[in-house]
Amino acid sequence: MNMDSDLQIAGDILEVPHLLQPERAHPETVADFAGLARSIADDRAQWAPYVEYDATTRWYHRLRTGPGYEVWLLSWVPGQGSGLHDHGVSSGVLTVLEGELTERTEQGARALTPGSQRVFAPGYVHEVLNDSLEPAVSLHVYFPGLTEMPMHESLQAQCSPEPSGAAVV
């Protein structure tokens, strides 16, 4: 025990229950939602039996709902993507379970590998796609539950300068 410290705990801290936070039945904070996604990702039995692949469209399955949130499982075959979109008023956590996905934003592209998590706020514009040669699976937690997914113009159109008529010398 370090005797140089002015702060010392006497006795068992667990014997002071009024100092402990009560366990919550459902997530309430961004950290809670990221933790929920991580705990589901770590328990393959919770999601693996539901994975399916569809060559014509991204496949999805709602795994769980709670007060004010939803948990979705998505699968992506090579070449499938979401298109550029946001999630309306919903915040979210995206966690890659298997394979590799690419997230594109106006800041550039980012490879997302198993265990990668992205947390985003309402209005965050991105595109997620599987540009690898193997299928991928991801988990998405939305809070509040997803009610809209507005689509946006392509990133190239957003980043292209308007023709000004001025010559570049």
List, as residue ranges, the binding site. 85, 87, 126
Give 32-69 pLDDT, tens digit per residue. 999 999 999 999 999 999 999 999 999 999 999 999 99
List, as residue ranges, the binding site for Fe cation. 85, 87, 126
Residue 168 belongs to some domain of the structure = no
Residue 4 belongs to some domain of the structure = no
Q: Specify the CATH number for the domain of residue 120.
A: 2.60.120.10
Residue 58 belongs to some domain of the structure = yes
Which domain range does residue 45 map to?
A: 24-148
β pairing state of 117-120 and 91-98: antiparallel
Answer whether 105's CB lies under 8 Å from 126's CB.
Answer: yes
| pTM: predicted TM-score of the whole model, two decimal places | 0.78
